Structure 1
Amino acid sequence: MSARLRPTSRRRALVAVGTTAVLALVLAACGGSGDDAMSGMHHGTKTSVSASPTAPSTTAGTGHGGHDMDAMKETASDDGLAAQKDGYRLGAAASALPAGAAAAYRFTIAGPDGKPVTDFAVDQTKRLHFYAIRSDLTGFQHLHPTMAADGTWAAPLAALKPGTWRMYASFTPASGPGKGEDLVLSTTATVPGTASDTALPKASGTTAVDGYTVTVTGRPTSGTASPLTVTITRASKPVTDLQPYLDTYAHLTAFHAGDQALAHLHPETVVSSGQGGPSLTFHAELPKSGDWRLFLQFQTAGTLHTAALTLNVG
């Protein structure tokens, strides 16, 4: 996905960080909600989790994605890792957040004139999508913050574990020089305390969440945009009651291990009725080799579920 997250038909196709290839997609268990090692997407609902082995302890602020990396990525970038692009800049009120307690993360998006932007286009029913993830790709949160009249956004983060976290803002200006341009800006925040990194789970073709089984088929080839099929079942029976969530039947976000580059995918399956499933086809094209951590979000009976996927790109 480009950091601009420039979609076809408003992000129902892949918005990738670049243009290379995916060789293999593998699934693994996701982590817990709240202050668990691997919190799920926080949208007013909680997701089931399973534990992952942990690596040796480090101190907060070390590891991938620290402020030293931000200093090198203050200018234009195509992977969502820059705080500034095309004259737009993400400015956070604080670079540190408390450990183990919910907190509001406040920030502004300044335009090319240096003033806070207040006019945003609606995309997937929201004016801004906010993501938070720890440097070891745990603790994923996907939020839709509120904006004050002066352009200050407040994202209600669930409790964070000690370590370095990256905060992303995905938006489209509705006016000004960047009108209609899809952008993703990000910066880091430190949560004080002793941090233990969690290793990515081993490769697996399926994963389970909240009683649902998610299976992935398809092997996208290098340099080619290829289809990827996700099938959801429950008690070995096809799930056909997927509800629209953000104008689609599923939401898929990916983060690259090591640098936390962000990619954003949506199913090509069009929402044509109140319910969908069991299979969803995704347009797959990711730019970097190595491991990616994907978070698939889907809704049934008013409850949002988050399944974690591990993707290896050769």
Structure 2
Amino acid sequence: MSTGLSTGLRITAFTAVLAATFGTAYGVGRVVDPVVADAPPVSHERHPGEPPADPGGDGGHPGGHEGEPAGGLGISEGGYTLDLATPRVTAGQRTELRFTVRDDDGRAVTAYQREHDKELHLIVASRDLATYRHLHPTRAADGSWTTPVDLPEAGGYRVFADFTPAKKGAGNLTLGADLAAGGAYRPALLPEPNTTASADGYRVALTGTLNPGRAGELRLSVSRGGRPVTDLQPYLGAYGHLVALRSGDLAYLHVHPNGEPGDGSTKPGPDISFTATAPSTGTYRLFLDFRHEGKVHTAAFTVKAGSVPAGRETAPGHTDGHAH
């Protein structure tokens, strides 16, 4: 998925899961019916350098609907490799996470296109999707990246680097690598499908549809104290930033808002509109970041795309915080 803001969505292929747990308690709202198609599909433009959808792809799920390939499933793609120098950390301890993006010759990449106000976006998510972090690493002159991280629970995590090299003709990439947090491991169950979520006193309502293989609109409306929030502040070049992860393999979908601040038509709330395409049927976890009164908040949702077999994916769960 590309990180550049524009009308529409890019889904970049990831082999691993976005593993991240929120640092502060961002509670999932009450359990309600899963999101269903209540609006006609919204078309979206393909970003420069983005490959067309694989007409025969199923997103990694046998029998799944056709759609664009999921992202972040591989450590190498398009001639670039994510070299994670810190593959192990200790749960509950602040650690300096270090990594480098290398080209086919093993050289560190030192030039990137800026997208969403950053050269590179780093997501860390736990395999059980209970923990989510959107981090902002710092790049040194030699091309190495560092960022502090504090993961609250032991277990397996997935690190996703979302970037576009400055090299002519290079497209947006999302590379994924596994990260282990040592300690006593206690997996969490995936929260039940919900269309409302609470985040630090804010209420976020989700409407729309996440369709396998075709675009649909997702609309999120932010309120506080029963009143719509109409003065959202830009965060990473938009009024909202949405990341979706597929339960089971943590395939990564980076969704982009329809419109941007200052375009003459996009209002600063309460509604934030996105266009998204699921690569397959399945259950997805959606994380919305938004800024208000100088602080970034995260609301989390569980959504089903298409039909999925009955199972444990609808058990209650939780989300923790957001690190910046």
Report the TM-score, using the length of structure 2 for normalisation: 0.74
Is 1:239 the equivalent of 2:221?
no
Residue 204 of structure 2 is matched in structure 1 by 214
Give the C-alpha shift of residue 267 in structure 1: 1.5
Match of 2:10 in 1: 15
Could you tell me which of 175, 190, 194 is aligned with 2:184? 194
Structure 2 matches for 1:1-314, cutoff 5 A?
A: 5-6=1-2, 10-17=5-12, 39-40=21-22, 46=24, 48-49=26-27, 78-175=70-167, 179-272=169-262, 276-314=268-306
Deviations 1:41-87 (A, max 9, x none): x6xxx5533699xxxxxxxxxxxxxxxxxxxxxxxx85211000011
Asked if 2 retains the 8 angstrom alpha-carbon contact of 1:248 and 1:270, the reply is yes
Residue-by-residue CA offset, 1:239-282 (whole Å, 9 max, x unaligned): 10100001100000011111111001121032127970011211
Give the whole-Å Cα distance in 1 for the aligned partners of 2:124 and 2:216: 28
Contact 1:165 1:190 in 2 (8 A): yes
Alpha-carbon contact 1:47-1:306 (below 8 Å) kept: no
CA distance in 2, matches of 1:123, 1:12: 14
**1:96 Cα offset (Å):** 1.1
* Divergent runs of 4+, >4 A: none
Gaps of 5+ in 2: 14-19, 31-68, 307-324
Q: CA deviation at 1:216?
A: 1.2
* 1:222 positional shift: 4.4
CA change 1:78–1:205 in 2 (3 A) is: closer
Structure 1 contact 47–305 (Cα < 8 Å) conserved: no
Overall identity of the aligned pairs, in %: 35
* Partner SS, residue 194 of structure 2: coil
Give the Cα–Cα distance (whole angstroms) in 1 for the partners of residues 239 and 231 of structure 2: 10
Change (3 A) 1:233 1:291: same
SS in 2 for 1:195: coil
Work out whether residues 5 and 238 of structure 2, in 8 Å CA contact, stay in contact via their aligned partners in 1: no
SS in 2 for 1:15: coil
Q: Counterparts of 1:136 and 1:10 in 2: how far apart (Å)?
A: 28
Q: CA 1:303/1:47 → structure 2, altered by over 3 Å: closer, same or farther? A: farther
CA contact (8 A) 1:243 1:275 kept: no
Tell me how far apart the structure 2 counterparts of residues 145 and 17 of structure 1 sit (CA, whole Å). 20
User: Secondary structure in 2 aligned to 1:198?
Assistant: coil
How far apart, CA to CA, are the structure 1 residues paired with 2:209 and 2:115?
A: 30
Which deviates the most, 84-93 or 269-278? Answer: 269-278
Shift of residue 171 of structure 1? 0.7
Who is 1:32 aligned against? none
Q: Equivalent residue for 2:46? A: none
Aligned-residue RMSD, C-alpha: 2.4
Q: Distance in 2 between matches of 1:221 and 1:193?
A: 38
Shift of 1:12: 4.4
AA partner of residue 13 (structure 1):
G
Question: Are the aligned partners of 2:194 and 2:303 in contact in 1 as well (CA < 8 Å)?
Answer: no
Say if 1:47 and 1:114 are closer, same or farther in 2 by CA, change over 3 A: same
Is the 1:244–1:275 contact (alpha carbons within 8 Å) kept by the matching residues of 2? no
Aligned-partner residue type, residue 293 of structure 2: A
Work out whether residues 6 and 260 of structure 2, in 8 Å CA contact, stay in contact via their aligned partners in 1.
Answer: no
CA contact (8 A) 2:81 2:175 kept: yes
Conserved? CA contact 2:6–2:259, under 8 Å: no
Aligned residues: 260
Change (3 A) 1:286 1:253: same
Change (3 A) 1:202 1:250: same
Distance apart, 1:206 and its partner CA = 0.9
Aligned amino acid, residue 272 of structure 2: L
